[in-house]
Amino acid sequence: MKPHPRSLLGTDHLTVPEIEAILKLARRMDPKRAPQLLRGKRVVLLFYEPSTRTRTSFEFAMTTLITATSSSIEKGESLIDTGWTVTSLGADAIVMRHPSSGAPYLLSRFIPVPIVNAGDGLHQHPSQALLDALTITNHKKRLKGLRVVIVGDIFHSRVARSNAHLLSKCGAEVILCGPPDLAPDVAETLAPGITVCHDLDVALLGADVVMSLRIQKERLAGKQISLEDYIAQFQVTPQRMRLARPDAIVMHPGPIVRGLEIANEVADGPQSCVHEQVANGVKTRMAILATVLKAVQ
């Protein structure tokens, strides 16, 4: 079976008009009220991995929502059988997070309803990239021509991958930055318009957007760079932010590890859009659900 045509599995499949349509719809959404156009629709959350921001914002985006984590998953039912079960129960769409890259793509080949990928392994997190694009365009009005630096553990980051595809497609210059172990040069082949840089001070020169990513200490084990060296070379600090444009914004998808990938003064400073990103998650996910459920009027 082919995936449902309105599934949102990754940003690499989205066209620029599709991205613009979701952002336009998200701007119209009231995050305090689940939209009328989603009333009566049934969305199932299948979360095989923990989440605070993504899960809560999808929950707030819906009026009728069922969570399957504490039943079938814990009893050992297969992914496809769980998908069939919730579809047979009448789900109109499935929102899914899974630790394995590709799991939502696999399920989408067996299930006749749209699937929204809420993060799969190291692969994609399209709703995060869309809410990030909404946040950027709230400040910069357009993505085309912006210099966006994404710094941290690029290799393990589905957020970096989804953002790199979406932003480069929309005409932004994307610089992926980190030590070679975490930001391998091959990442330049993800899409046109993407470069890899191993020197944060160089990457930040003239940046419009600085996106810091979480560093998991255990992922530095066995790598050439120590935790102390990472902090010295790649932490986003007030001193480093002076290399970026004065009106540059700072972003972080969360969860933040303060004092490691980002200094407190930057995370809480006037350029930080971190709280705004979380808030934009609800509006963006309302727009995504309305789009995949074809509830847009």
Q: Which residues contact ligand CP by CB under 6 A?
A: 51-55, 119, 125, 128, 253-254
Could you tell me where the DSSP H helices lie in the chain?
16-28, 53-61, 79-88, 103-108, 126-140, 158-169, 200-203, 227-234, 238-241, 264-267, 274-292
> Residue 241: which of 215, 220, 265 has the closest Cα?
265
If the CB atoms of residues 82 and 127 are measured against ligand CP, the closer one turns out to be 127
Residue type (1 letter), 29: M
Shortest approach of ligand CP to residue 98 CB, angstroms? 12
CB 291 within 8 A of CB 26: no
If the CB atoms of residues 179 and 281 are measured against ligand CP, the closer one turns out to be 281
CB 188 within 8 A of CB 164: no
Shortest approach of ligand CP to residue 10 CB, angstroms? 15
Shortest approach of ligand CP to residue 132 CB, angstroms? 10
If the CB atoms of residues 173 and 288 are measured against ligand CP, the closer one turns out to be 288
If the CB atoms of residues 87 and 150 are measured against ligand CP, the closer one turns out to be 150
CB 161 within 8 A of CB 186: no
Residue nearest to ligand CP (CB): 54
Phi-psi region of 19 (alpha: psi -120 to 50; beta: other; left: phi over 0): alpha
Shortest approach of ligand CP to residue 42 CB, angstroms? 22
Shortest approach of ligand CP to residue 238 CB, angstroms? 24
Shortest approach of ligand CP to residue 81 CB, angstroms? 25
Cα separation, 99 vs 78, in Å, equals 14
If the CB atoms of residues 35 and 253 are measured against ligand CP, the closer one turns out to be 253
Element counts in the chain: helices (H) and strands (E): 11, 9
If the CB atoms of residues 35 and 119 are measured against ligand CP, the closer one turns out to be 119
Q: Give the up-direction half-sphere exposure of residue 246: CA atoms within 13 A in the CB hemisphere.
A: 0
Per DSSP, 254 falls in state: S
Cβ-in-10-Å burial (0-12, 13-18, 19+) of 241 comes to: buried
If the CB atoms of residues 178 and 253 are measured against ligand CP, the closer one turns out to be 253
Shortest approach of ligand CP to residue 255 CB, angstroms? 6
